[in-house]
Amino acid sequence: MPSTIDSLSAREVADIHYIYGFCDGNARAASREYHQRFPTRPAVDYRVFLAVHRELSENGLHRPHRERASTVPVDVDEQVLRLVYQDPTISTRRIALQLGINHVQIVYSTPISTREELLQKVMAAASQIKENRTVLKKTVRSVALRSTVCMDENGGHFENLIN
């Protein structure tokens, strides 16, 4: 369940505020209505409806620019993979909520703009992996887990193998 406005996408904020108005400002009714309309999204507590309305009333539509999330630590990465293995259809938001991290950390990374940049990053990562036995073991486990998920799904979720 999203606990802060910052954990919501702009679309979710818009939907929450719309449904809050649709329910005549009754936050508890809005929470129920939201769950009925969006059953695949995480449940939203009635207090989030109040917070969204208050934030929009006081500060308008402007959302402050937030810094990009840092890369995900390897132990968190392994927990993410374990959750995906258990349920390949799980959403990044649900994973983030279960692990207590911002979903942006799971979704976004530094974009690569050229093939050369990709090659440099792969070579640098391979060098680091070769030099550090702990990282090597974790990498092997990570690739094995990703491959197992891919095979269990008969090739489905292949993106989990390469992401």
Summarised one tens digit per residue, pLDDT across range 78-88 is 787 788 778 77
Give buried/exposed letters for 83-122 (b at 16+ CB in 10 A, else e): ebbeeeeeeebbbbbebebbbbbbeeeeeeeeeeeeeeee
For 16, the domain range is 5-59
90, 153: one domain: yes
Q: Are residues 33 and 87 both part of a single domain? A: no
- Average of per-residue pLDDT values in the chain: 75
Higher pLDDT pick, 106 / 159: 106
Q: How far apart are CA 21 and CA 34, in angstroms?
A: 12
- Average pLDDT value for residue range 139-161: 66
Comparing 10 with 113, which gets the higher pLDDT? 10
Q: Say whether both 129 and 89 belong to one domain.
A: yes
Count up the domains in the chain and report the number. Answer: 2
Q: Are 52 and 103 members of one domain?
A: no
Phi, psi of 100 (to 5 degrees): 75, 35
What is the band of 159 on the pLDDT scale with cuts at 50, 70, 90?
low
Query: Which pLDDT band holds residue 69 (cuts at 50, 70, 90)?
Result: very low
